[in-house]
């Protein structure tokens, strides 16, 4: 009975219930919502965004965050477009993008951990750097499909199979990749002693240092992990939809990811977070955005709903803790 009560009052159960209710509402408003084509696109978007958000959850738990993920996504997509457009081997291009993601994330992590700079300032600066580089590289590239929005649609024939293929002709590869990453990082965070130290860092960094935890190393690894997952997500996204541009992602994607983590139970103060909750947060926001578009509402209502859900999540987190303390 106690276990059942705990499940019913959990953030994950509440999110799942809201998702079910919204799915019923949108499917009643439009027959197109539950079509196979729409569900494939919906699950593909959830997979791309979840891969980034899962890494962000771990960073949140350590008491840090990265607001540059949206423009970083755009930047890596443009670089990948340039590499593939110039005929570079697909797998070599993928390797270089992942390495670029690891390096850029590690630099941000070092600035935060080693030089003790505020993560907001560091990642805000990175956000504008990535945005500027995206358009600068994209618009000057000879293989760009459009110099206006720095878009790329030229790629080798085997590239779309990476994220756009199907297992047994039913399940999209992009969904499988996301599930593997989610399960791996879930067990890593729950079972691995080293990664569980993120909870101690986020809860009380000074105490964690006194306890001998290598906080600086772990924070750098967390930033590198997020950027690596950003690289993986753009590779899958580019492959699935066969297009990338400097406008893809951007600041809105960064806010979307941060919102999903907070809605899923993460806190900007650190020490708490749920990978399953984050996945459900991404699913909820993606369903809202997709549903609003399908039923013909102004997409700006999606931003309003996001703001409302965020405020509700923050209030829920704050007052639920107060009730527990009482």
Print pLDDT tens along the chain (326 aa). 666 556 656 889 989 999 999 999 999 999 999 999 999 999 999 999 999 999 999 999 999 999 999 999 999 999 999 999 999 999 999 999 999 999 999 999 999 999 999 999 999 999 999 999 999 999 999 999 887 788 999 889 899 989 888 888 788 999 999 999 999 999 999 999 999 999 999 999 999 999 999 999 999 999 999 999 999 999 999 999 999 999 998 888 998 999 999 999 898 889 999 999 999 999 999 999 999 999 988 877 777 877 777 787 777 666 655 544 44
Alpha-carbon span 313 to 326, nearest angstrom: 20
DSSP state of 139: H
Alpha-carbon span 11 to 16, nearest angstrom: 9
Return the exposure string of 221-243: e unless at least 16 CB atoms fall within 10 Å of the residue's CB, then b. Answer: bbbbbbbbbbbbbbbbbbbbbeb
So what's the pLDDT on residue 319?
65
So what's the pLDDT on residue 39?
94
Question: What dihedral angle (degrees, nearest 10) is formed by the CA atoms of 269, 69, 172, 192?
Answer: -40
So what's the pLDDT on residue 167?
87
One of 1.10.3470, 1.10.287, 3.40.1710, 2.60.120 is the CATH number of 7-325, namely: 1.10.3470
3-state SS, residue 166: strand
3-state SS, residue 255: helix
pTM of the model: 0.93
So what's the pLDDT on residue 147?
74
Instruction: Give the residue carrying structure tokens 């340039």.
Output: 82
Identify any residues that bridge with 166 across adjacent strands, giving them in sequence order. 172
Cα–Cα distances (Å) from 166 to 88, 141, 160, 242, in that order, read 25, 32, 11, 15
Instruction: Determine the number of helices (DSSP H) and then strands (DSSP E) in the chain.
Output: 14, 4
Q: Which helix (H) or strand (E) holds 167?
A: strand 166-167
Question: What dihedral angle (degrees, nearest 10) is formed by the CA atoms of 70, 71, 76, 79?
Answer: 150
3-state SS, residue 92: helix
Which tokens belong to 183?
A: 């399960």
So what's the pLDDT on residue 325?
42
Question: What dihedral angle (degrees, nearest 10) is formed by the CA atoms of 209, 261, 184, 234?
Answer: -110
Alpha-carbon span 223 to 295, nearest angstrom: 38
Cα–Cα distances (Å) from 28 to 16, 17, 290, 291, 298, in that order, read 18, 17, 14, 11, 18
So what's the pLDDT on residue 199?
96
């Amino acid at each position: 009975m106690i276990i059942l009560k705990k499940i019913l009052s959990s953030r994950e159960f509440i999110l799942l219930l809201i998702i079910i209710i919204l799915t019923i509402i949108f499917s009643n408003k439009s027959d197109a919502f539950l079509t196979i084509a729409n569900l494939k696109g919906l699950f593909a978007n959830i997979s791309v965004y979840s891969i980034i958000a899962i890494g962000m959850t771990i960073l949140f738990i350590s008491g840090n965050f990265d607001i540059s993920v949206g423009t970083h996504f755009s930047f890596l997509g443009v670089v990948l477009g340039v590499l593939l457009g110039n005929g570079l081997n697909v797998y070599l291009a993928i390797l270089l993008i992942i390495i670029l993601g690891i390096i850029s994330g590690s630099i941000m992590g070092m600035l935060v951990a080693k030089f003790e700079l505020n993560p907001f300032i560091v990642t805000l600066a990175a956000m504008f750097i990535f945005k500027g580089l995206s358009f600068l590289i994209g618009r000057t590239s000879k293989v760009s499909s459009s110099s206006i929005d720095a878009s790329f649609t030229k790629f080798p024939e085997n590239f779309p199979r990476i994220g756009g293929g199907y297992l047994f002709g039913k399940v999209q590869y992009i969904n499988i990749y996301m599930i593997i990453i989610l399960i791996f990082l879930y067990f890593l965070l729950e079972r691995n002693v080293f990664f569980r130290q993120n909870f101690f860092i986020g809860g009380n960094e000074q105490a964690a240092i006194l306890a001998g935890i290598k906080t600086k190393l772990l924070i750098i690894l967390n930033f590198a992990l997020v950027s690596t997952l950003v690289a993986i997500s753009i590779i899958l996204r580019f492959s699935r939809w066969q297009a990338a541009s400097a406008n893809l992602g951007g600041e809105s994607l960064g806010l979307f990811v941060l919102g999903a983590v907070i809605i899923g139970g993460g806190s900007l103060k650190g020490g708490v977070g749920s990978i399953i909750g984050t996945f459900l947060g991404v699913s909820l926001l993606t369903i809202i955005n997709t549903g609003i578009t399908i039923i013909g509402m102004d997409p700006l209502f999606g931003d309003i709903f996001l703001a409302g859900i965020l405020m509700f999540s923050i209030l829920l987190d704050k007052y639920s803790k107060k009730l527990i303390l009482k």
